[in-house]
Structure 1
Amino acid sequence: MPYTSAKYTGQQGKNASQRIEECDVKPLRDISYFFGYFQQDLYPCENKENVGGAELTRLFGLIKFRDGDKWVCTDEGVGPTSRDCLVYSFGINYEWSFDDAMAERGCKVFAFDPTMESRDHQRSENVMFLRLGISNITGEQVIGKVIRKVARLPDIMARLGHAGHQIDYLKIDIEGMEVEVLQDLLLEDPAILASVRQIGMEIHPGIYGDEDVTQPNNLFAKFWRIFQLLDCLGFRLIHWNRNTYKRNHYIWKGRKEATCYEVVYVRIVDASGMSLEGEGMFFVAMKWHLERTTSSIRSFVYWQEVDNLESVKYLQEYELLALEQEKDNHDEDGLIEVQGTRK
């Protein structure tokens, strides 16, 4: 399917609001649905590149992991190009590898972090740093027990003269504040997200502790709603992985899960710049379970469409038998076996 870049317009913004209003959001019925979301890429990207990143260590070098990198889809038409490429990068923590790498590609990078002890400055020709955080409010907010300056994304874009411009890549690594930020944008300013081509972010659902995920204020339920609203805006998951730091991993029902995940979305548009209605299923692999039998059994639940992706009418459950399940290595340091209580 060809991709075409486009500036977003007021008309497209109105369409974004309609999409959110008409989005048939399903409640999270069981935690298996949430974990099932991370079983495969939902949309094909032929050319994915891992950009930036640094090898880090903890506990005197005993624990090694990679951090700061983000996956970028570079397919023609959707990948950032040197011409008019704009990157917003929220959450730096003095690790500049992604920002510098995107700048080397010719992108104008605006990097934000209110927790760094650095003044606003021009790091390089293509990288500008602002000691400012993204939030669901504009003003001041307590972050890490310190009052920091924050702003909503529309206000930041207006301040920098980018109102009405496309953001080619939006990086969000803000240690748990992503829920409030995304809820605000999706419900109050969906047109802003409709101007974004790719989102690379770290999400922090935490450890599942046998809580009631059907409650709307539950953190897993909030992410579940965000996943669906992003889908209604035309965003498709092209990559996911557990955060590589082993202490973020734990075992749930014999399978490795994580307190935080890296996810990357691409917004799929047609030649007019409008998000595609799409073909086929609305979501893929929304539920799974693995039974310890001679044959691995995985159960998927698909959100099915009737007319298009925005008119979901029913659920249909499929059993796919005798699929060989890849065995997870559970003998890594730092894994926790969850027994129904939050650790």
Structure 2
Amino acid sequence: MVSGRGKAGIGIVVLAVALCLLTMSKYMNTMDAQMDKLRDVANEMENLKETIESDVSNIETKKTAPLITEPEANKALGPFRKSPANEELERIWNYVYDMQYKCTKSKYLGGKPDMFMDGAYDLCIEPQFWEKANNPDYKCLMYSFGVGWDFSFDDEMAKLGCEVHSFDPAMTYQDGMVRESGVTFHKIGISDKDLEADSNGWKMRTLKTLLKELGHNGRYLDYLKVDTDAPQGGFEDTLMQELLNTGLHQCVRQFAQEIHLMGPLKEDPKLERLRLIYDQLHQLNDQGWRLYNTTDNIRYMLKNNPQASQLYNKGQIMENKIGILWETAFVNFGVIGPCIVV
């Protein structure tokens, strides 16, 4: 039989044990919380380590723009802008066939098989110029000026996961139409000024305005393509000049264009446009752009003559209304950041 004093002693012991257990439970909970925090910190440190290693790796593997040397054949020509038409033609002719960079991984996309793949263009998929090679979830952005009823290249780019916007004011499709591939069509042309209706009744916009109106301010232009037809040749010179004037050349990762030289080059306006295009190409080179692919577009000739050559056009363009068409592709070593327009 336990006395009252004994019972009190037992109660004190039980209470002490309970308090001890409660204290230990709180301590263990605190320790668990601290361990969770330590694990979170460790995970953060591991993620930071991986990020730093990735950044260092990118820095180590990022290539610098290859130096460009004047094509040897051009050294015998007279001064630029002061030479006769035949020498100015020879200068740009040598330029487009002298590759400034070798892309080791590329895709040739689009094109019409019945027209010797007319409409196809090259995409360099090296990680430095193709962000999806680094991050498959990245949403690339492409602007394509000049469709000419051929969406094949644009559709292929959309299938690769890009947001693609195709522009052509001459087509009869509804503005804003979205194709099955996801390509969005705009009944708008590229110009050096914003017009609701030009002499053809077409809506025209500058690149800067389109970036704002379409909500792409602050994004990279991962691929920019221009293949347009016009009486003077095309609008590639208009677009190149805006890129240079606005600094938007710094946010374009890849650029493809069809260069249109139109004869007769004995006429001053045609010759001056050739000189302008050559000068623009060199200015873009100065900003880190490098030519890596040129394709002669003589497909319209090949249908009637499988042996056709661009040399025929070269021999005729001085005196005749004939064109020389080159499809060219560039990568940009001078990308600084996303497109910012105000």
**Deviations 1:102-153 (CA, angstroms, capped at 9, x unpaired):** 11111111111111101121213632111111111111454xx621001000
Aligned partner of 1:167 in structure 2 is: 221
Question: Hey, what's the Cα distance between the residues in 2 that align with 1:233 and 1:158?
Answer: 24
Asked if 1 retains the 8 angstrom alpha-carbon contact of 2:262 and 2:270, the reply is: no
Structure 2 length normalisation: TM-score? 0.63
Q: 1:134 aligns with which of 190, 195, 198?
A: 190
Task: Establish whether residue 100 from structure 1 lines up as the match of residue 155 from structure 2.
Answer: yes
Question: Hey, what's the Cα distance between the residues in 2 that align with 1:217 and 1:211?
Answer: 6
Tell me the secondary structure at the aligned position of residue 180 of structure 1. Answer: helix
Tell me the secondary structure at the aligned position of residue 128 of structure 2. Answer: coil
Question: Hey, what's the Cα distance between the residues in 2 that align with 1:76 and 1:98?
Answer: 20
Structure 1 length normalisation: TM-score? 0.63
Aligned residue runs from structure 1 range 240-319, under 5 A: 240-247=294-301, 249=310, 250-252=312-314, 259-269=324-334
Asked if 2 retains the 8 angstrom alpha-carbon contact of 1:198 and 1:267, the reply is: yes
Q: Is the radius of gyration larger for structure 1 or structure 2?
A: 2
Question: Hey, what's the Cα distance between the residues in 2 that align with 1:234 and 1:75?
Answer: 16
Question: Hey, what's the Cα distance between the residues in 2 that align with 1:218 and 1:273?
Answer: 33
Asked if 2 retains the 8 angstrom alpha-carbon contact of 1:167 and 1:195, the reply is: yes
Aligned residue runs from structure 1 range 322-341, under 5 A: none
Q: Which amino acid aligns with 2:119?
A: G
Question: Hey, what's the Cα distance between the residues in 1 that align with 2:323 and 2:116?
Answer: 14
Tell me the secondary structure at the aligned position of residue 256 of structure 2. Answer: strand
Task: Establish whether residue 121 from structure 1 lines up as the match of residue 186 from structure 2.
Answer: no
Q: 1:184 aligns with which of 242, 246, 249?
A: 242
Q: 1:87 aligns with which of 134, 137, 142?
A: 142
Aligned length: 239
Gaps of 5+ in 1: 5-24, 57-63, 275-343
RCO higher in structure (CA 8 A, sep ≥6)? 1
Asked if 2 retains the 8 angstrom alpha-carbon contact of 1:54 and 1:66, the reply is: yes
Aligned partner of 2:27 in structure 1 is: none
Gaps of 5+ in 2: 1-59, 64-78, 302-308, 317-321
> Could you tell me how far 1:157 is from its partner in structure 2?
0.6
Q: 2:200 aligns with which of 146, 163, 172?
A: 146
Q: 2:211 aligns with which of 151, 157, 181?
A: 157
Q: What root-mean-square deviation, in Å, do the aligned CA atoms of Structure 1 and Structure 2 show?
A: 3.0
Aligned partner of 1:53 in structure 2 is: 111
User: Identity, % of aligned pairs?
Assistant: 29
Q: Report which of the two has the higher share of strand.
A: 1
**Deviations 1:37-59 (CA, angstroms, capped at 9, x unpaired):** 02231112111211111124xxx
Q: Which amino acid aligns with 2:150?
A: E
Question: Hey, what's the Cα distance between the residues in 1 that align with 2:118 and 2:300?
Answer: 12
Asked if 1 retains the 8 angstrom alpha-carbon contact of 2:106 and 2:125, the reply is: yes
Note closer, same or farther for the CA distance 1:155–1:179 as it changes in structure 2 (3 Å cut).
same
**Deviations 1:253-305 (CA, angstroms, capped at 9, x unpaired):** 69xx96110010110148x769xxxxxxxxxxxxxxxxxxxxxxxxxxxxxxx
Question: Hey, what's the Cα distance between the residues in 2 that align with 1:258 and 1:216?
Answer: 11
Question: Hey, what's the Cα distance between the residues in 2 that align with 1:126 and 1:65?
Answer: 26
**Deviations 1:193-232 (CA, angstroms, capped at 9, x unpaired):** 21100001111012464456xx997111011111111112
